[in-house]
Amino acid sequence: MRKNDAKGPDIEERAATAAGERDPAEARATAGEPAEAEPAEAEPAEAEPAEAEPAEAELAEAEPAKVEPAGPEPVGAEPAAAELAEAEPAKAEPAGAESPADELREKLKRLPDRPGVYIFKNVAGEPIYVGKAVSLRNRVRSYFTSLHTQSAKVRVMAAQIADLDFIVTDSEVEALILEANLIKEKKPRYNVRLRDDKAYPYLKVTWNERFPRVMLARRVANDGARYFGPYTNTTAMRETVRFLRKMFPVRTCSLDLSGELNYRPCLLYHINRCGAPCAGKVSEEEYNALMEQVCLFLEGRHDQLLPDLYEQMRAAAAKLEYERAARIRDQIRSLEAVAERQKVVTTKKEDQDIIGFARQDDVVCMQIFHVRDGRLIGREHYFMEADADDDDVEIMTAFVEQHYQTATFVPREILLQAPVREPEVVEGWLRERRGGAVRLHVPKRGEKRRLVEMVLENARIVLDEQLAQLARRSEEAAKALAHLAEALNLPAEPQRIECFDISNIMGNEAVASMVVFEDGQPKPADYRRFRIRTKDTPDDYAMMREVIERRFRRGLREQDGEVEDRGFSVFPDLVVIDGGKGQLNAAREVMRELGVDDIPAIGLAEGTERRPDGSGSRPWGGTEAAVGGTEAAVGGTEAAVGGTEAAVGGSGAGAAAAAAGAGTD
């Protein structure tokens, strides 16, 4: 206790500095008294009327599902530490109230010497880092002591810490699981995490139903089915499914076979692609044995599968079932051809995952090879978000924890390019996932080191290809933006383009979408959806006017500091309206009223709209739309629409449709 007390003032000084106090000595002098609020904090932001700004209330951004970990109990007297609520903007405290620095100091004092997870937040209340600790007290306090020995990233992050939450867990393994879930949910700025947070597909064998099927699934559920994956290459996965259905006559229908089997066999039965369990053509025992073979195939256990098939072929021939024996023979030949293409990497018939990565600046490419029974059956690559000064240990730890959080199979041995932090804890967690022993190993020499080097070489090749592709896309986007600026007579190349579209069902359930492109590339983080409330009848003009007004009025208020900055303060260089002259005029009118009519705007008419005389129409807009001058049209359909296609993705037809509304119609 004496040692902790001795360090207390230093920790409090650094915590006060991180939370915004100017002078640590001043903080010590007033530690026991209510802190006088800073002038910037003394005046809270002006409250918005409940109905005055629909844009703030109606932005329906999808939130990730909250993680409900089983077991961990939050501790701490503060409500913020008792539950992980959605981050709220930091509110100014009235004079005489506790300052944020005082609250942070108090939380540091209350940190328990137990395992758990901590969440650092900035002044806006946004999570910026999630970490786990064997001892919350020691780990969290380390961020405020000896900062000169920390990396530049940690020093920058520590300067932004204004608040913290923590959750106590029963064990280090439980903390690891909770940390991985929170990183995926919160996406903190300073955590290393997988760049693609989309859900990769799995193959699902429905053992939870009679006569199981093989299906595509996006989530792993605890439903009694068996899952394989995830698969990062969906094309290869679908090829696998096609090969599997050709090899094994399993059903693909969705019929309910829990009752009597009195259906009529379909065409697949007659071409030997299904055993027709729906018609009782195959017994449940025989069908389940077939599904076991499917699972062996998906696991890459060809050395176990082939002997079974040889035995079945001989048994069928002995019973004079020559057609069945011939089908099994064809299966064997196909499987042997697949096995020959799979490289033998070890003669010990081991199950291994081999993980390595290549990096350049802040781009990290992770490569993982899957070895089953000594054969390389597949490989996958992932890109991670990391800072240039993140070390190899931090990157490897983050990947192992995040990858095996969703992996359906954990091998007995995992070979790594670099060690992970707290390997005993990670191995303990992997043992629970596998239900058996797991070894993390960083080989230094020999055959296993050669395997790691092979993975590193492949990671470097994939990274180089990715960087070259990004360079090509950037070059194509630059050319497309120049083309667009020329076609629309814009004063400069539009670096930020915002596209608006309205969708409704006969005037009901109306919504609007805002799709954003920056530097010629989609920027999904800035996409927005608006609920239309001013109209309940089909009136596209009024709806477009409402959306444009809400978007720019909110942006002006954010620029003036009246409301929290939620990204609307950045104005576009070009506005694209999905519609004809009426929608465009409605948008231009409200932009003039708000004083933002210097922003170019164009309208894109959909489809092959025709004039009354039967001639093809050109997109509404032109010089008036682009620069606010006269209404002379610029170019034809090919010039204006083609330029927009190139600018909003460089991927040809369909990009303009995506820009003009993200497919909300």
Q: In the chain, where are the structural domains located?
A: 100-191, 202-300, 352-466, 496-604
Rounded to whole angstroms, the Cα distance separating 551 from 58 reads 11
Which residues are 267's β-sheet partners? Answer: none
- Bond before 34 cis per omega within 30 degrees: no
Tell me if residue 83 falls in helix, strand or coil.
coil
Query: 608 — phi, psi (to 5°)?
Result: -105, 65
Q: What is the pLDDT of residue 293?
A: 87
Contact 279, 211 (CB under 8 A): no
CATH 1.20.1250.20 fits 100-191, yes or no: no
Those residues whose C-beta lies under 8 Å from the C-beta of residue 32, and which sit 6 or more positions away, are none
202-205 vs 226-228, strand pairing mode: antiparallel
Q: Name which CATH class applies to 496-604.
A: alpha beta
Same fold? 100-191, 352-466: no
Contact 377, 352 (CB under 8 A): no
Task: Give the tokens for residue 470.
Answer: 């990004």
Buried b (16+ CB within 10 A) or exposed e, 154-181: beebbebbbbbbbbbbebbbbbbbbbbb
Residue 334, amino acid? S
Rounded to whole angstroms, the Cα distance separating 543 from 6 reads 64
Query: 83 — phi, psi (to 5°)?
Result: -155, 150
Residue found under tokens 């259905």 = 245
Residue 88's CB is within 10 A of a number of other CB atoms, namely 12
| Closest to 249 (Cα-Cα) out of 224, 214, 217, 215 | 214
| Closest to 637 (Cα-Cα) out of 477, 487, 515 | 487
Residue 104, amino acid? L
Task: Give the tokens for residue 341.
Answer: 């293409």
Rounded to whole angstroms, the Cα distance separating 256 from 203 reads 20
Q: Distance between alpha carbon 409 and the CA centroid of its chain, in Å?
A: 22
Rounded to whole angstroms, the Cα distance separating 339 from 303 reads 9
Residue found under tokens 């089909």 = 538
| Closest to 180 (Cα-Cα) out of 575, 169, 542, 101 | 169
Walk across the sheet containing 116-121 and list its strands: 73-74, 163-168, 116-121, 127-133
Half-sphere exposure of 414 toward its Cβ, with a 13 Å CA cutoff? 28
439-441 vs 413-416, strand pairing mode: parallel
Residue 440, amino acid? L
Rounded to whole angstroms, the Cα distance separating 624 from 585 reads 10
Rounded to whole angstroms, the Cα distance separating 103 from 12 reads 11
| Closest to 574 (Cα-Cα) out of 561, 564, 587, 557 | 587
CATH 3.30.420 fits 352-466, yes or no: yes
Rounded to whole angstroms, the Cα distance separating 142 from 146 reads 7
Residue found under tokens 């009529």 = 264
Q: Which helix (H) or strand (E) holds 555?
A: helix 540-559
Rounded to whole angstroms, the Cα distance separating 211 from 209 reads 6
pLDDT below 50 — which residues of the chain?
A: 1-14, 16-98, 608-665
